[in-house]
Structure 1
């Protein structure tokens, strides 16, 4: 069996330290910017997913925490447990 080492970047929430999305997988990419793009544009939609704040923090899509909710709202995003109600203001 052939193997080779592969280096990648993973997204880490600056508030809680998680590396998983609400779907339970760990987003990863070949560059820092690639993984930021992956988590902040879930399925190509920038209104879903994590938030990259104006001050450079990366905040996961947790919906049951005040600090997360505040960071999303300050960035103009509202995330709820129902994907159909994710909106940008």
Structure 2
């Protein structure tokens, strides 16, 4: 059986250290930017996913505590019990 090593980048929440989404999937990509794009836009949807803060931190959407909520809100996202929504500044 042939094998080869493969390197990838895994998203890690800077607040709680998780590497999983709320679906239990571990986001990964071939480059740092690729995995950031995957987790923050949920494959093109900026209303879902993690937050990439102005100071470069990645913040997951799996935890619902004050630190996570604050980071998302500062980026323009609001977490509610039913869904995360984004309000873009005008």
Q: Same fold (TM over 0.5)?
A: yes
* Corresponding residue pairs, total: 87
Residue 88 of structure 1 corresponds to 86
Q: Which segments of 5 or more consecutive residues in structure 1 lack a partner in the other structure?
A: none
Provide the C-alpha distance between the structure 1 equivalents of 2:9 and 2:61, rounded to a whole number of angstroms.
Answer: 18
CA deviation string 1:8-45 (max 9, x = no partner): 00000000011001111100000000000000011320
Q: Which segments of 5 or more consecutive residues in structure 2 lack a partner in the other structure?
A: none
Q: 2:53·2:75 contact (CA, 8 Å) conserved in 1?
A: yes
Residue 17 of structure 1 corresponds to 17
Structure 2 residue 45 is matched with structure 1 residue 45 = yes
Provide the C-alpha distance between the structure 2 equivalents of 1:80 and 1:32, rounded to a whole number of angstroms.
Answer: 29
TM-score, length basis structure 1: 0.90
Provide the C-alpha distance between the structure 1 equivalents of 2:34 and 2:11, rounded to a whole number of angstroms.
Answer: 10
TM-score, length basis structure 2: 0.89
Provide the C-alpha distance between the structure 2 equivalents of 1:65 and 1:77, rounded to a whole number of angstroms.
Answer: 14
Over the residues paired in the alignment, what is the CA RMSD in angstroms? 1.2
